[in-house]
Structure formats: C-alpha cells, structure tokens
Amino acid sequence: MGSESPREGSRYSRFPTPRISLLIGITELRRGWRKLRQQDVWLALVGLGLLGILLVLPLVYDITRDVGSELAAGEADAVAPAATVVAGFWLFTVVIAVVTGIGSDGEIDNAAGVLTVRPPKDVAGGLLVNAAVWFAPFVLPAFVVGGVGLSAGVGSPFPVIGAVVAGVTLLVTAALVGYPIGLAAKGAIRRSKRLSDLKPVLGAVVVVGYAWLVFSGELNRLFDTAGEAIEATPVGWLADLALVTTPGAEASMVRALAVLAIAAVIIPASALATARAGAFTWYTDDARSADESEPADGTTAVERLDTLVGSLTRRDSTRGVAVMLLVRAYRAPLQLVFVALPLLLTLPIVESAVTTGTVPDYTIWMVVLYGAWAAGASFPLNVLGNQSATLPTLLLSRARGHEVVRGHVLAATLLLAPVTLVGAVGVGLIGNRSVPELLSIGAVAVATVVAGGIVASGLGALFPRFSSIDVTADRSASVPSKAAFSLFTLLVFLSVLATASVTDEIMRLLLSSLITDWAPFDITPSDLETLGQVLLPGLVALVPVAYVVAVRRVDSYRLD
C-alpha cells in the first residue's frame, strides 16, 4: 500500500487537505441528494422552504429597485438600513449553521470505516463544504435578486457584482463560524450524560421558542436589535461590500476590502476549528450508554410502565405491544415529532390566553380535534409499519390481531387522553363554561381520543408504510402512508365538526357565520345541527368497522 507525502498535508498537517475535503464534500452532496430524493417527507419540506424563498424574492426586488431609484435621485440615505439588514441575515445564517452542526449534518455515516481511511480533519472539512453548499440556495438568491433590483433602480449593471460577492462572503463566513460551534456543541452533548438526556427537551424548547417568536412577531424585532448591535462590527461591513459597486451608495471601499481580508483569515481558522471539533465529537462514546445502572430498589422505569399498563389490560400480548410502543417513543422521541408540529400553530392562542385571560370559543374543539388526530397519528395509523424489522416476529408470535390493535390504541390513549382531557377542560374553565358543559367536554375529549386511535388503526392496516425517513445519520422514523394520513385527517376533521355542531350552540353560530362569509351559499345554525345529526351516526359507525378491518388485516397479513 502506498503512503501519502507529508507535503500533501493529509495526515501530518493540522488543517484539512483542501483537495480531499472538497472530494468528501462533493461525495456527501451526491449522497445527500440521492437520499433526499428517496425521502418524500424531507423533499417536501425542502420544497416548501424553497417555495417560501421564491415568494419573498419579488418583495426583495421591489424594495431594492425603489432604493436604487432613490439613489439615482441623489438620496444616499436610502441605504442606511442595509448594515442592520445584512448583519441580521448573517446572524440568522450563523444560527442555522450551528443547528446544522449539532444535527444530522454533524454525523458520519459508517464513522468507524470512514475515520479509519481518512483523518477526522479531512472528514470535518468535507462536511463543512457540504453544509455550506446546502445553505447556498437559501442565501444567495436574495443577494442576486437584490443586486438586480438595485441595478434596475440606478440604471447600471454594476450593483449585481457587489451584491453577489457580498452574498458569497456572507454565506462562507457564516457557515465557517457557525458550523464548528455546532459540531463542538454536539461533542459536548455526546460526552455529557445529563446533556444527552436533556437533548430532546432542549430541542423542544428551541423549536417552541422559535415558533413563538415567529408567531408573536418578535423574531423580526429580535434580529433587528441584534443586527443593530453587530452592525458596528466587521459584520456590518458586508453592507459596504454589497454596495461598493452601486453608484450613489457612498459605500466605503476600505471596509469592503477589509471584510474580504477578514474572510480570508476566517477560512483557515475555521478549518482548524472544524477539524478539532470533529475529532472532539467523533472520538468519544455516547455518554448515555456509559452508565445504565438501575435504581437502588431494582425497579426500572420499564417495569413500572409495564405494571401500569398491566393494570389496564389482562392480555399479556396487548400489554407487551403497548409497552413496546411507549418505550420506543421515549427512547426515540423523534418518532413523534411530526405529531407535535401542529401544536406550533396554537402559540398565538396561548399568547392571547396568557396576555388577556381569554380564549376564542372554538379553542375547546381545536384541543379535541388535535387530541383525536394525534392519538391516531402517533401509533395506530401505521399499525403494521411501526413494527419495522420485528414484524415477522410479531406475525409468528401468539399475539392475535385484536391484541395488536388494542395495544396500539392503548398506548395512544395513555399518551394523549390525559393531555387532551386537561387541555379541553382547562380551556373550558377559562371560557367560563358550566359544570355540565365541562363534564360533557371531558367525556367527548376522551371518547374522541379512543375513537381516533381505533379509526386510525383500520386505515393504517389498509394502507401500511414500511419504509422510513432518515431523521439523523443514524436514526430513522416510521411515518404513516400519505393515503392513510390524508383520509384519517379528513375523517377526524369531519367528526369533530359534526360533534361540535350537534353539542355546542356557540360552535354552530361560529361555523354558520364562517361558512356564510366564505361560501357562495348561506347556512343557518339549525342547518348545521341537522347536518351534524346526519353525519355523526355514520362517522360513529366507522369506529367498530375500522376495528374489525384492522384486526382482520393484521391476522391475515403475510410477508412475501
């Protein structure tokens, strides 16, 4: 076997070898694109992100064209906010780069083999290149379109040059600063058992906090404030670089050249930091597996959970399925992330309840709707696919179809019924509902959770999905099929609306007003009540039908 020359720096230098890191980065890009095309969920999310950018770009063009027109008229102050905007954009990109380093892009597929062939510094350099290129479609178009808008406003093609150079510089520097920080944070979490245990909680706090800032409108103010704080630093000089080729902008050539020089210094410094962070992160054992001692009384959490579930069912197979699903959800909470995502849409209502002490009258039914939907989507909606590699074992075991289905519904009920009950009754209390109304709301909340789980099991058995989506480099999640998901969501929506129309006079008035405003026809509250009375028996009849279908499907299912 041949050996590499020390002059190549591949193994003897502290810095990544550019040629090899670039090759690794290109390979990771190809592998990432290939995997993305096979993951329809992630492909849809990326598509939505790009669609959001495309919708914003016309606004960017209009604003920059107006600014260019003002510059052409001799108003140099028109570009005064540029430093704050660019600084806020840079800071946001740094935050995304940090999150990328902490997440799956900070992992190595087949780490043992890769790190045997290449030193960690070259691999880290390749992952850094990969991350920076993935950021490009979300960063560069804004600068390109902004440059085109300035050019149209001032009547000169030169603003595009400065905008593109500034966009590339912002992209490179933000990725180089943020990614090694995220990679090092990943290593710190991996080395600490406490941080490893708290990682799902910290992730949830970050996601909820970010969504709260978005819905409350505080995110823009936050980045404006942060941008103003750092615009006096060299980060703010990126605006000079972007405007240095724009006539009438009076940008500083000295600052523009200085920020390029700083970027040239950041590149090797970040390469070294990324190499060190990679070695720090990858050459360590997961702290979660380092100490798995049991409590002093010898009773583990799984045993306590088994006892709790066993008190609710006499069937060992039912208990085993339910415990397995709950334990798996605890150990891999990413499995249920997509179920929790709709909760982010409720943040404006929560903020209103906190600030005013009141909630809209329809909030109770939103809680019931979510509880029924989440109960079905959590486990039962993929009753066969959830088993993954253990499906042959399950089919060959003594567990019957009704025990498997009941286990899924029981696990979903234990997880969602208490949350839905407390949420619905709590909202009813805030809304000053009477005691009989609160009792009926609580009963409906629990009943819809159980019914949602049963209906979902029937659809999940009819339309199973055995493929999974990659959440991180070494973790995947089983999600329901698109057919099961769409049909179940529609049925739950109709069921809750029908129930609300029959049992809640306030909801009938709200729905009547809403439909009358948006539909080309009028409908009275009494019409809604009649329609609900017609639909509800059929929807209720679906519950036992779905149960029978799920049981028979599980009992008769055979592997090819």
pLDDT confidence tier of residue 258, bands split at 50, 70 and 90: very high
Give the pLDDT of residue 432: 80
SS3 content of the chain, % helix, strand, coil (to 5): 80, 0, 20
Average of per-residue pLDDT values in the chain:
79
Burial class (CB in 10 A: 0-12, 13-18, 19+), 334: middle
Using one digit for the tens of pLDDT, what is the confidence trace for 20-34?
888 888 888 888 777
Q: Residue 261 pLDDT more than 90?
A: yes
Q: Is the pLDDT of residue 515 over 70?
A: yes
Q: Is the pLDDT confidence value at 19 over 90?
A: no
Choose between 340 and 127: higher pLDDT. 127
314-337 per-position pLDDT tens digit: 777 788 888 888 887 777 666 677
Are the C-beta atoms of residues 70 and 78 closer than 8 Å to each other? yes
What pLDDT does 353 receive?
Answer: 67
d(CA 402, CA 409): 10
Q: Identify the band that residue 145 occupies on the pLDDT scale cut at 50, 70 and 90.
A: very high
**Residue 470: per-residue pLDDT:** 59
The alpha carbon torsion through 258, 262, 263, 268 (nearest 10 deg) reads: 150
Q: Using CA atoms, how far apart are residues 102 and 368, in angstroms rounded to an integer?
A: 35
pLDDT exceeds 70 at position 403? yes
CA 533-538-540 angle, 5° bins: 95
Binned at pLDDT 50, 70 and 90, residue 111 comes out as low
Residues 6+ apart with CB under 8 A from 512: 523, 524, 525, 527, 528
Of residues 420 and 74, the one with the higher pLDDT is 420
Q: What pLDDT score does 335 carry? A: 64
Please give the average per-residue pLDDT across 511-521, as a whole number: 78
Q: Give the Cα separation of 153 and 141 in Å (integer).
A: 18
Give the ranges where 103-158 is alpha helix by DSSP (H).
Answer: 111-117, 120-154
Rounded to whole angstroms, how far apart are CA atoms 480 and 483?
8
Report pLDDT for 298.
39
Does residue 10 carry a pLDDT above 60? no
Checking if the pLDDT of 1 tops 50, the result is no
Q: Is the pLDDT of residue 230 over 90?
A: no
Residue 295 has what pLDDT?
Answer: 46
Does the pLDDT of residue 150 top 80, yes or no? yes
Does the pLDDT at position 296 exceed 50?
no
Cα angle 364, 365, 367 (rounded to 5 degrees) comes to 70
Q: What is the mean pLDDT of residues 401-406?
A: 82
The CA-based diameter of the chain, rounded to the nearest angstrom, is 85
For residue 313, the number of C-alpha atoms closer than 13 Å in the C-beta half-sphere is 24
Helix (H, G, I), strand (E, B) or coil at 470: strand
